[in-house]
Chains A and B, each alone.
Chain A
Amino acid sequence: MRLTLNIWRQKSPVDKGRMVPYTLDNVSEHMSFLEMLDVLNEQLITKGEEPIAFDHDCREGICGSCGFVINGVAHGPRRGTTVCQLHMRSFNDNDELFLEPWRAAAFPVLKDLIVNRSSFDRIIGAGGYISAPTGSAPDGNAILVPKPESDMAMSAAGCIGCGACVAACPNASAALFTSAKIAHLGLLPQGQPERHSRALHMVAQAHEEGFGNCTNIGECEAVCPKGIQLENIARMNRDFLTGAVLYRDPQAEAGAG
């Protein structure tokens, strides 16, 4: 098939950037979207042009590296699919496609379709962990986890941190990502001690990074390649609001040594 591709080209973080049109012939429907871009890049390199930069790693939909916006939809038209797992059979001959990087103040463009997602790492650093003694693994079933909670935590843990939720959100909010981490840890017994401080710190960090607020419209849930649900955002709101209202200063009287 033959495609017209309008791709965002930006040399560096300070370059202004613009859409550049390309045409690509003989695209096989069996190619993945990234393989199609590989073919285009081969042609660009042969012509002595700069290839299109895009993030990718595992190419099996589990690492969270890849992702850009295709015709206004993060990760393209197929639901529950990262762009590396999207195949050209999802498109038609003579389609015109617009490829743009995730757009958010907190995701500055590094080059072409690659954005800097370090802000996500800093949100995790602010509280997306549990404090636990390391060493040998605990005995199986030594800590009981009810099945429904385990199911919900596992679903939330499915988040690969690709950033599609931010890209699709009209407010560029990181609510779905942040809430997935908060729910994943906050649902499990090991996550309880830091449950409220985690929500307070991670939410504050997301705000600090310049992500917008959630308006509950659900675009994030629709583009999420891992099916992370909006219910997690309600859980995050609940943990944050409870944490903010019930906050206490640490007291030195007991156990001050």
Chain B
Amino acid sequence: MTSPASPIARTLRFYEAPIGKKAVMALSGLVLVAFVLGHMLGNLQLYLPPGPDGKHALDAYAEALQHNAPLLWGARAVLTLSVLAHILSALQLAQLKIAARPIPYVRHTPIASTYASRTMYWSGPIVLAFLIYHLLHFTTGQAHPNFQPLQVRANVINGFSVWYVSLFYIAAMAMLSTHLYHGVWSMFQSLGLAHPAYTPKLKLGAKAFAVLIAAGNISMPLAVLTGLVK
């Protein structure tokens, strides 16, 4: 018999409880939030002028990442694991939610929750669908009409020149922002970090972060569509 304190028993006991699943969701979410910020900051180099060698900043950045295999594949591994953990915990928690109220209300009136918080089970899968498309579009190129490896700037401009592609990106970023609007604060609450002095500021900061991510990411397809970036 395994001891109740054995690592396996400990992990199982931790993950069996909904709070453990929420902690996994929060920690994997934290990794993804950090990535979303870093990814946006990296991509905003689209607006930088070309360097003295005539190379665009975004292309030089992409090349630097591609030539640093340990960093690239390390990050990809951590991100894939985080996405899988995030999805697995979400599916299991959704199952609990469905089982916990078999008979629905005839009338149900939300009075305090935000739209963002009530639609996490929708915004999540939409962002996942977008993620798959986005990888096929700009990383592997199958969904891109004119994909040139490592020519990130050109790929972005060509890709976003198609208005409905840009529209999908903008809609997906709005969804991501909605997800973050609730998720970024919720992460702290799930991990047990709440205090009347800090929680209101944290909630405000989380909302500002969500808006910032949406604004930064949506600016890029808009800049291409309006011809600001050529």
Which A residues lie at the B interface, using CB under 8 A?
A: 6, 8, 19, 69, 71-73, 98, 100, 103-106, 168, 170-173, 200, 203-204, 207, 210-219, 221-223, 230-231, 233-242, 244-245, 247-249
Distance, CA A245 to CA B3, complexed state (A): 15
Known A-B contacts A105-B100, A105-B101; the reply to A218 vs B112 at CB < 8 A is yes
Q: A69-B105, A73-B109, A100-B107 are in contact. Are A244 and B100 (CB under 8 A)?
A: no
Contact A244-B13, Cβ < 8 Å, known A217-B113, A218-B112: yes
A-B contact pairs, 10 of them (CB 8 A): A69-B107, A172-B101, A173-B18, A203-B17, A212-B99, A215-B93, A216-B182, A217-B114, A230-B189, A238-B192
Contact call A172/B14, Cβ cutoff below 8 A: no
CA–CA, A82 to B135, complex, Å?
52
Choice from A106, A234, A247 contacting B100 with Cβ under 8 Å: A106
Residues of A within 8 A of B190 (CB): 214, 216, 237
| Of A204, A211, A214, A221, the contact of B112 (CB 8 Å cutoff) | A221
Is the CB–CB distance between A230 and B103 below 8 Å? no
Choose, from B37-45, B148-156, B193-201, the stretch at the interface: B193-201
Q: Assess whether A244 is in contact with B117, with CB atoms less than 8 Å apart.
A: no
B192 contacts A234, C-beta separation under 8 Å: yes
A200 to B17, CA, bound (A): 9
**Cα–Cα, bound, A204→B182 (Å):** 26
- Specify which of A19, A203, A223, A241 lies most central, judged by the most chain B CB atoms within 10 Å of its CB: A241
| With A241-B192, A247-B5: A103-B103 Cβ-Cβ less than 8 Å | yes
B9-55 interface (Cβ within 8 A of A): 10, 13-14, 16-23
- Interchain CA distance A101-B147 in the complex, whole Å: 58
Residues of B within 8 A of A217 (CB): 112-114, 117-118, 182
User: With A212-B18, A237-B22 as given contacts, are A219 and B111 in contact (CB-CB < 8 Å)?
Assistant: yes
Determine the distance from Cα of A214 to Cα of B100 in the docked complex, in whole angstroms: 12
